[in-house]
């Protein structure tokens, strides 16, 4: 099938006076946000939306076609200005859910003390303008068990351990879900704001109904430099300073967690190797402190080679061992067999890309998917959390890990 030529977009970026609250400039019902440590972007409207089945490998070339046809006026030329697409891609290529890249009609952004507005429109459309939208009332969600109960999850972990014992996989990441609703007409920006303020070092995101706060960078491309942060291996924070120090030390010296982490690092280095030069990773992982957990973390950096874009690197990297397992193709098969649900965009790539192919992408963790509901009816949602299973994993401990990982989104929904 021949695809029609993409729409020709007229894109204009201008610097504006400092903006304090980016979330005021996005749709309360369908927020479009990428934010970290106060900097980021918020969008509204969608003159162009790319939709693909599963993790559609044509999204990269389709994005390039849009970028090549666009007429871009961007005197700032800093990350996030000019033509920008916000993306949320599925975890599994066989998912029944869609991967999407949304080009907002208006983006209001802030980075390193500078603020801007970008508009994108077709030639026959009027130029859109920014408009701050007041917040709706506070709300809380109802939330309960999803397709996989606590007991069911521990049973799935035992089945995962059996697959490891049979040498089917070395590691498999198994998730469970919670299901619920939020009131009709709820201002979903309040959830984004709660996550962004409670977890400022994470990527707070909202794209096509997927809202969360991820601590894990999948890949960043900026002026030819490629960076990634690998997280694998988790421990709950201690209740007091001494217990917290002990938890961090136990994680750093845990053979099980170190093995899990090395699986994840190796998968990232192998995936990036074909697209980069001078690729390097720290020799030993460090412990990353978040408000609710400790993670083992490794930073990776290299130089982009060839004409690859951030989307090309996303396609090469995803899914990583950190969210799937090792060997990854076999781990995906085990996940399909043991998880009684389609993950959709949970644990898939989420982020943004610009006309030059630069961008920032995270793994969609600590998140919930909000699905369109009937007008006037409560809005359905599904939240997810998972844990990496390796030889020696304990089902009760892995269940506890998912409870800890659920805490950011569950608390924000309360």
Q: Where are the beta strands (DSSP E) in 45-134?
A: 48-53, 71-73, 84-88, 98-103, 106-111, 114-122
Phi, then psi, of 358 in degrees rounded to 5: -80, 165
Contact 86, 104 (CB under 8 A): yes
In this structure, are residues 343 and 175 in contact, taking their beta carbons and an 8 Å threshold?
Answer: yes
Dihedral angle over CA of 402, 406, 407, 411, nearest 10: -160
Cβ partners under 8 Å of residue 394, min gap 6? none
Strand partners, 120: 11
Spatial separation of the C-alpha atoms in residues 196 and 363, rounded to whole Å: 16
Contact predicate 354/82, CB 8 Å: yes
Q: Which secondary structure element, helix H or strand E, spans residue 158, and what is its range?
A: helix 150-165
Could you identify the residue written with the tokens 């950096």? Answer: 301
* 214 to 60, 177, 210, 348: CA distances (angstroms): 23, 17, 12, 11
Q: Which of 171, 260, 339, 398 is catalytic?
A: 171
CA-CA distance, 135 to 19, in Å (whole number)?
Answer: 16
- The yes-or-no answer on residue 216 being catalytic is yes
Yes or no: say if 233 and 254 are a contact pair by the CB < 8 Å rule.
Answer: yes
CA 308 to chain centre: 21
Dump the DSSP string for 362-374.
EE--SEEEEPP--
Residue 32 CB: number of other CB atoms within 10 A?
24
- The position carrying tokens 């506890």 is 400
Q: What are the structure tokens assigned to 62, written together? A: 């389709």
155-to-174, 299, 311 alpha-carbon distances in Å? 11, 34, 36
How far apart CA 73 and CA 70 sit, in angstroms, is 10
User: Of 131, 169, 211, nearest to 330 (Cα)?
Assistant: 169
Q: Which one of the listed residues 61, 216, 289, 377 is annotated catalytic?
A: 216
171 classed as catalytic: yes
Residues tagged active-site: 171, 216
């Amino acid at each position: 099938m021949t695809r029609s030529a993409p729409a020709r977009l007229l894109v204009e970026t201008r610097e504006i006076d400092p903006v304090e609250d980016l979330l005021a400039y996005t749709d309360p019902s369908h927020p479009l946000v990428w934010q970290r440590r106060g900097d980021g972007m918020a969008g509204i409207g969608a003159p162009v939306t790319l939709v693909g089945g599963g993790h559609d490998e044509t999204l990269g070339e389709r994005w390039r076609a849009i970028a090549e046809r666009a007429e871009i006026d961007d005197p700032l030329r800093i990350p996030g200005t000019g033509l920008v697409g916000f993306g949320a891609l599925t975890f599994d290529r066989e998912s029944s859910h869609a991967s999407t890249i949304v080009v907002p009609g208006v983006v209001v952004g802030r980075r390193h003390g500078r603020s801007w507005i970008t508009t994108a429109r077709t030639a026959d459309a009027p130029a859109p303008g920014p408009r701050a939208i007041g917040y709706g009332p506070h709300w809380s969600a109802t939330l309960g068990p999803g397709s996989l109960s606590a007991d069911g999850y521990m049973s799935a972990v035992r089945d995962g351990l059996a697959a490891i014992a049979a040498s089917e996989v070395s590691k498999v990441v198994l998730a469970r879900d919670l299901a619920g609703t939020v009131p009709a007409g709820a201002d979903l920006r309040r959830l984004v704001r709660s996550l962004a303020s409670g977890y400022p070092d994470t990527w707070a995101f909202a794209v096509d109904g997927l809202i969360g706060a991820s601590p894990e960078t999948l890949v960043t491309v900026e002026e030819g430099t490629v960076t990634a942060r690998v997280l694998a291996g988790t421990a709950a924070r201690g209740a007091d300073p001494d217990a917290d120090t002990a938890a961090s030390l136990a994680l750093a010296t845990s053979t099980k967690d170190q093995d899990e982490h090395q699986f994840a690092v190796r998968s990232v280095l192998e995936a990036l190797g074909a697209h980069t030069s001078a690729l390097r990773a720290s020799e030993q992982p460090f412990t990353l402190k978040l408000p609710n957990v400790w993670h083992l973390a490794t930073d990776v950096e290299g130089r982009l080679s060839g004409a690859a874009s951030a989307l090309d690197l996303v396609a090469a990297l995803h899914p990583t061992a950190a969210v799937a397992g090792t060997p990854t193709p076999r781990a995906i098969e085990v996940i399909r067999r043991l998880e009684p649900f389609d993950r959709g965009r949970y644990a898939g790539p989420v982020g943004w890309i610009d006309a030059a192919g630069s961008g920032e992408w995270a793994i969609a963790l600590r998140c919930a998917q909000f699905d369109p509901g009937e007008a006037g009816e409560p809005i359905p949602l599904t939240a997810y959390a998972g844990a990496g299973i390796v030889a020696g994993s304990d089902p009760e401990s892995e269940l506890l890990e998912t409870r800890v990982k659920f805490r950011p989104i569950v608390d924000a929904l309360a």
